[in-house]
């Protein structure tokens, strides 16, 4: 599982290091699939993890409007990306623009995938989660 929270800085235009603990979940593979996520983040999957998510998405009938929208959102915003020998990769510019990620980012483990967040957005989102969770206790 992808776990933890990591501060990351860019080392070139869109180039970032995938933390070692997250890379270990790739089981020696040097390929990830990046996709538009929800709440303004970028999702990152192992190829196997993306295949599972794709299977779930494709499990709904294309005759259902909501299923078509989800397919379009997921697949049109996804790209395979290779990691170099040090675990660095370049986030495609369309995804950087989508997530408003510039000089630094937060990478978080989210179980079956990891997420890349604009640092300010993540801090606000985390506060919102904590506020919502604590109000329901």
Where do the domains of the chain lie? 5-135
Q: Based on the number of CB atoms within 10 Å of its own CB, is 126 exposed (0-12), middle (13-18) or buried (19 or more)?
A: middle
Phi, psi for 79 (deg, rounded to 5): -145, 140
* Per-residue pLDDT, 135: 72
pLDDT tens string 68-103: 999 999 999 999 999 999 999 999 999 999 999 988
* Per-residue pLDDT, 13: 87
Report d(CA 68, CA 32) in Å as an integer: 24
Residues of the chain with pLDDT under 70: 136-137
Asked if CATH classification 3.50.50.60 holds for the domain at 5-135, the reply, yes or no, is no
* Per-residue pLDDT, 109: 97
CA angle 84, 49, 33 (to 5 degrees): 40
* Per-residue pLDDT, 137: 61
The per-type count for the chain, helices as H runs and strands as E runs, is: 5, 8
């Amino acid at each position: 599982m992808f776990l933890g929270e990591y501060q990351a800085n860019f080392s070139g235009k869109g180039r970032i290091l995938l933390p070692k603990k997250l890379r270990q979940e790739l089981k020696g593979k040097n390929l990830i699939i990046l996709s538009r996520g929800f709440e303004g983040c970028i999702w990152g999957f192992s190829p196997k993890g993306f295949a599972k998510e794709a299977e779930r998405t494709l499990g709904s009938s294309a005759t259902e409007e909501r299923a078509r929208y989800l397919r379009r959102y997921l697949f049109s915003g996804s790209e395979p990306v290779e990691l170099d020998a040090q675990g660095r990769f370049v986030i495609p510019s369309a995804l950087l623009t989508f997530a408003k990620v510039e000089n630094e980012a937060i990478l978080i483990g989210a179980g079956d995938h990891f997420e890349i967040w604009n640092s300010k957005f993540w801090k606000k989102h985390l506060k919102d989660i904590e506020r919502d969770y604590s109000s329901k206790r």
